[in-house]
Structure 1
Amino acid sequence: MTAATVGVGAIDPTDPASFRLWREEILRYGDMDTNGHVNNVAISQFCEGGRVAFERTGDLQRDNPEYGLSLAKVTIEFRAEAYFPGMVRIGTRVMGFGRSSCRLLQGLFQDGRCIATSEAVSVCFDIRARKAAPYPEAFKARILKIAGG
């Protein structure tokens, strides 16, 4: 994954300065694999934690209990090994909104090193109708202030 393009500039997902919304996760012994490093499933779960922090920070369901978020697409690039014990910091930023979708960029860091980057598309959906719904404008404005460019 190279630098992501936003507007006329580029965002480097390996640079912690690219992110304002952060979540920290404690590495667990059980996150390791037989190679002695943190496994890909744990990295995926850390990305999920960052996406959940995005949703909760924007208070989507508090203000709109009829809506939820569903993951439509995710890609993860594993860039360096991570090791137990320690912490992982997950930075998440909004790259843009579609009608019912939001593109997210994430960087995962251990001791200042980028261990993984991720791009995801999250879709707002109507929980009762079980179909995509437009993101509420108030949520979009709030989350762009917190985790946008």
Structure 2
Amino acid sequence: MTDNTPLETTFDVRFCETDALGHVGNTTLVEWFEAGRDPIFRFFTPELDLTNWPLILASYHVDFHAQLFYGKAVTIKTYISRVGKSSFETLQEAWQNGVKCATGTTTLVHFDFKTQRSAPISDDVKTQLMAHFREQ
């Protein structure tokens, strides 16, 4: 399968996101990756209705490749790397100045809070997810 279009979000690095070493703190990447998944959340609940939230985070992993610095924008590219019956995985990259500085993978589960069980992902949502598929 060929690579599809990533979902992209760009952030201006804020001074408060830097640490004593002068680069972006490692926990900031987790926040940026979550914000980069907002368009995916809308596939499941277009209004981002927290009273009917359909996803839970099962796991995440971040690898750091290069330092990120204050004063230069960072772009988060979000892909879908796996779609199952009730769960899917995102593959995300953080880019600054044309350099891939970090990658992250996140497993999310479509979840029914009333029954406290995973729920199948609809075919419509699977189609939307696959429009952003990329082999890992």
Range of TM-score over shorter length: 0.7 to 0.9
Matched, 1:20 2:12: no
| CA deviation map 1:23-75 (0-9, x unaligned) | 1122110000111100001111111111223222x2x1139x74511110111
Matched, 1:148 2:118: no
CA RMSD of aligned residues (A): 2.2
Residue-pair matches, total: 132
Give structure 2 stretches of 5+ with no counterpart: none
> 1:135 is matched with which residue: 110, 121, 124?
121
TM-score by length of 2: 0.86
TM-score by length of 1: 0.79
Question: Where in structure 2 are the equivalents of 1:38-77 lying within 5 Å?
Answer: 38-56=24-42, 58=43, 60-62=44-46, 66-77=52-63
Give structure 1 stretches of 5+ with no counterpart: 1-6, 12-17
Structure with greater contact order relative to length (CA < 8 Å, sep ≥ 6): 2
Q: Identity of counterpart residues, as a percentage?
A: 26
Q: Which runs of 4+ in 1 moved over 4 A?
A: none
Paired with 1:128 and 1:136, the residues of 2 have a C-alpha distance of 18
| CA deviation map 1:58-114 (0-9, x unaligned) | 2x1139x74511110111001100111121111111112112110111111011111
Question: Does the 8 Å contact 1:82/1:115 carry over to 2?
Answer: yes
Q: CA deviation at 1:117?
A: 0.3
Q: CA deviation at 1:120?
A: 1.1
